[in-house]
Structure 1
Amino acid sequence: MAQHPAQQEEVHVHITEVFVIGVNQFMKNIENTNKDMSQTIFQNVPLVNTSFFQKLFKQLPTENGVIELNNLLATYPIKEISKQHVSDIEERYKISLENEFRLNLEEFYAVYLNFCLSNKSLDEENLENLYHLKIILSLNDQTIEKLNHKVGEIIYKKYFEKFILIAHGILTKKEEDFLEKIEKDLKLPKSLVESITSEISTNYIQKYVEKLINNLILSPEDERVIKSIGNNLNINLEKSFSDQIKRQLKQLKSYWALEKLSLTTFEPNIVIQKSEHCYFKIASVNWYELRSVRQKPSYYNTNSRILKEFYLNTGTYKSMNHSNDYMKFVDKGSIYLTNKRIIFVGNTKNLNIRFEKILRLTPKSDGIEIDKETGKVAVIQLPDKVDEFALILDRLIKDRHI
């Protein structure tokens, strides 16, 4: 009979049969990798104290059987542990480790496999050690396949996610070879690998796009990167994004152009000053005035980010509640934005607001409120293109000071 290093002074320790992939209560931190690897993974654990009644009836705590097996793994190289060592433990404790501690046996194998994969050390020697563990732990082919797939799935996910973060989905030859080796050595089903890569790739592109949306920016370079990620990871971008995300991307693309590019000029069907250029026009506009007077800022105080965030998250067109107690209808007509003023041509009257008189813009779901130096707050309701109107107006006001 082989001498067991686990035969030592006994102290109380609680053992639970819980199978958690990659987490073992007997594991310790890896500090010295020059030793046999199994001795750096498993840690010697003191045996459980014998209870009063166990001493009385000359019995041993059965959980000490699995602790002794753990301590063998912590002490000797795996290939030096034989099936007979395991049988000796079972005979001494009058137990069947395979029946009574099956989950612990599975965990011993899973922990060793997890360590090999996590450290990219699944070489020929460790494959032989895993096969030897299968034999001495009496694990059948079905169990090994289950453990290989479970641990392999976790590690494949971990490294695939890590690799695509480095270069927006472009994997190096070395990284591809490593993933292919995991797939081959653990015989991972093709469907499982495809499911993993599809899920992680889609999550990656979605998080990347969500970050852009939260930052309220989508430059041509950002668009190029999105397309590049889609190509690198073989993602169908059209199917990966919700209708809301696609709408917001379209809006942000428009917002970037309105902020960064030269504004398009229009030929107005009204007479404007020679020094004026028209940048926006739309018909079927309702002009209101707030009935109440509110406190006004002392200078133009509107953050374009607030405008973009409001209209980006408002989504579909929603008409304001135009209560007579809240505001007064003035007229209906067409509105124009020039480089100097807002021009309103109504059915019964014409109005205009010069940019230097505007102090604040407050976005509304179907329009915008305009605080002026004097007079009541103007509330402009547009049939559509509300966000475009607000952002062009904000830019034109700010451009006056450049």
Structure 2
Amino acid sequence: MGIFNTIIDKYKAAKQKSLNKKEFRELLLRAVGDGKLTKNEIDGLDKKKAEFGLTDEDVKGVRAEIFAAAFSVAKDDKQVTEEEEKELKEIQKYLGLADDEIQTSKKELARLRLLNEIQKGNLPTVPVTNLVTQKGETAYWAEPAILAEEKVIRRRYEGGSQGVSFRVMKGVSYRVGGHRGHIVSETGLVPVSDGELIVTNKRIIFRGDGKAFAIKLDKILDIQIFTNGLHFSENNKSKPRLVKFKEEGNHDIVGAVLSYAINHYGDK
């Protein structure tokens, strides 16, 4: 019976520890639910952790999840303030997380930090090789992109015809009568140049292997930003331009840089 009781006791202890870990995880999630950890919350968590008999190793598996939950709250409004970033650092410190354990969150945090700086007027500058700049021109952003144009990609015949056909010459005939068919052209966006989109305080530039353009900011009439590119029209040009980003994720940064540049430098 002694061995059997020992097995039962170990099973009960393991089950209780699993329940304790689950409850502590819920306590952690609740504590960071506002994107911060107060001293009282930390003291309470430490007390519970000791009561549950949990070690750092026991909660290691949920640390990244807890930080991600706090980060999600902080970025809910699509930006992270300096105060929110400070709170996130405190949470990371408490959880004992290294930067490489939360790389995805850190990358997104850096992007949001940059976006916040742009909105405050602190625009980044980027080195662009082989770009002939104008006097007083500064490059703010360069995004790998593809220039696309709307072109006819297929033509097909629809409808039918009635009447009599006669031969015009050997192998060629012409049908006379009530012709009701017509040719339909299908258009689509076709990549025409692979390169990069550059935004400066004076121009929006595309440099590619097939085509290129450089347009002054005050010539732009309308811009629409999408998650995978942008679409804009300009003075004295009937067709709009479409640029597709090679990777998604920076559309709001491109939009913020363009918006600031146009509003502050577009008429200069």
**TM-score under structure 1 length normalisation:** 0.41
Structure (1 or 2) with the greater helix fraction: 1
Q: Mark the runs of 5 or more structure 1 residues left unpaired by the alignment.
A: 1-138, 184-191, 293-323
1:89-120 deviation line (CA, Å, top 9, x unaligned) = xxxxxxxxxxxxxxxxxxxxxxxxxxxxxxxx
1:353–1:377 CA distance, 2 compared to 1 (3 A): farther
Change (3 A) 1:291 1:393: farther
Tell me which residue corresponds to 1:376.
239
CA distance in 1, matches of 2:27, 2:144: 54
Q: Which has the higher strand share?
A: 2
1:179 Cα deviation after fit: 3.8
Quick check: 1:337 aligned with 2:206?
Answer: no
* Equivalent runs, 1:207-246 vs 2, <5 Å: 207-212=69-74, 215-239=77-101, 241=102, 244-246=104-106
Residues 270 and 353 (structure 1), Cα distance of their counterparts in 2 relative to 1, 3 Å cut: closer
Q: Distance in 2 between matches of 1:390 and 1:202?
A: 31
Q: Based on CA coordinates, which of the two structures has the bigger radius of gyration?
A: 1
Q: Given that residues 157 and 196 in structure 1 are in contact (C-alpha distance below 8 angstroms), is that contact kept between their aligned partners in structure 2?
A: no
Which residue does the alignment assign to 1:143? Answer: 8
2:138 equivalent in structure 1: 278
Structure scoring higher RCO (CA < 8 A, sep ≥ 6) equals 2
Please tell me the residue identity of whatever aligns with 2:62. Answer: I
Of residues 222, 225, 236 in structure 2, which corresponds to 1:359? 222
What does residue 394 of structure 1 align with?
A: 259
Shift of 1:361: 1.9
Q: Cα distance 1:376–1:335, how it changes in 2: closer, same or farther (>3 A)?
A: same
Question: What letter is aligned with 1:143?
Answer: I
Q: Output the amino acid matched with 2:109.
A: L
- The one-letter code matched in structure 2 to 1:396 is A
Q: 2:66 aligns with which of 196, 200, 204?
A: 204
Structure-2 change in CA distance of 1:376 and 1:328 (3 Å): farther
Give the TM-score normalised by structure 2. Answer: 0.56
CA RMSD of aligned residues (A): 4.7
Listed as ranges, the matches of 1:87-106 within 5 Å are none
Number of the residue aligned with 1:256: 116
| Alpha-carbon distance between aligned partners in 2 of 1:150 and 1:333, rounded to the nearest angstrom | 57
Deviation at 1:232, TM superposition (A): 1.3
Q: Is the 8 A contact 2:126 2:142 kept in 1?
A: no
- Aligned length in residues: 218
Q: Is the 8 A contact 1:169 1:229 kept in 2?
A: no
**Contact preservation (8 Å) 1:290, 1:376:** no
SS of match in other structure, 1:326: strand
Q: 1:168 — aligned with what? A: 37
State the one-letter code of the partner of 2:50.
E
Secondary structure (helix, strand or coil) at the match of 2:232 reads: strand
Cα separation, 1, equivalents of 2:147 and 2:83: 39
List aligned pairs for 1:48-87, cutoff 5 A: none
